[in-house]
């Protein structure tokens, strides 16, 4: 009886095998997936000049301040190094400039501003209080 059960067990294990099931192929397989296109704008390596400022007292100033964006987080304001941030928002890009003549300010830039190298009447607010600080006109040089 033991030999019979042992033989039955061996026969049962020998009869079992794993079947590799493949899903049916439909269409042409994708060999190389498409490479995503980088649609993010940046200002690193660019130099912009502030040509006009309208301050909180609505006094207009003609300026010639140079902003040189040396890295992704460092810029020079008239040769004085400081930090900045530039990131996307749902509708624009946010440019925050630290240690300017008007304090730490932030404003929106749109893709067309970056492509054309021109920001006209850009509203910049104090990054801490969100109160109006200045309106800036600047051009990429």
Q: Which CATH fold topology does 47-140 show?
A: Lipocalin (2.40.128)
Contacts 24+ apart (CB under 8 A), 73-78: 77/101
Query: 57-82, pLDDT tens digit by residue?
Result: 667 777 889 999 999 999 999 999 99
Query: 81-99, pLDDT tens digit by residue?
Result: 999 999 998 889 999 999 9
Model confidence at 129: pLDDT above 60: yes
Query: 39-61, pLDDT tens digit by residue?
Result: 478 899 999 999 999 886 667 77
- Mean pLDDT over 3-31 rounds to 58
pTM (two decimals): 0.69
Mean of all residue pLDDT scores within the chain: 81
Quick one: pLDDT band at residue 36, thresholds 50, 70, 90?
A: very low
């Amino acid at each position: 009886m033991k030999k019979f059960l042992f033989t039955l067990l061996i026969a049962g294990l020998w009869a079992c095998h794993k079947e590799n099931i493949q899903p049916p192929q439909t269409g042409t397989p994708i060999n190389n997936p498409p490479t995503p296109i980088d649609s993010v704008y940046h200002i690193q390596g660019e130099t912009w000049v502030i040509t006009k400022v309208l301050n909180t007292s609505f006094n207009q100033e003609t300026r010639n301040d140079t902003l040189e964006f040396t890295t992704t987080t460092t810029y020079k304001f008239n040769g004085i190094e400081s930090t900045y941030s530039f990131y996307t928002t749902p509708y624009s890009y946010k440019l925050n400039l630290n240690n300017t003549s008007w304090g730490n300010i932030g404003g929106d830039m749109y893709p067309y501003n970056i492509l054309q190298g021109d920001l006209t009447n850009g509203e910049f607010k104090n990054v801490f209080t969100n109160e109006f600080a200045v309106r800036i006109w600047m051009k990429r040089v």
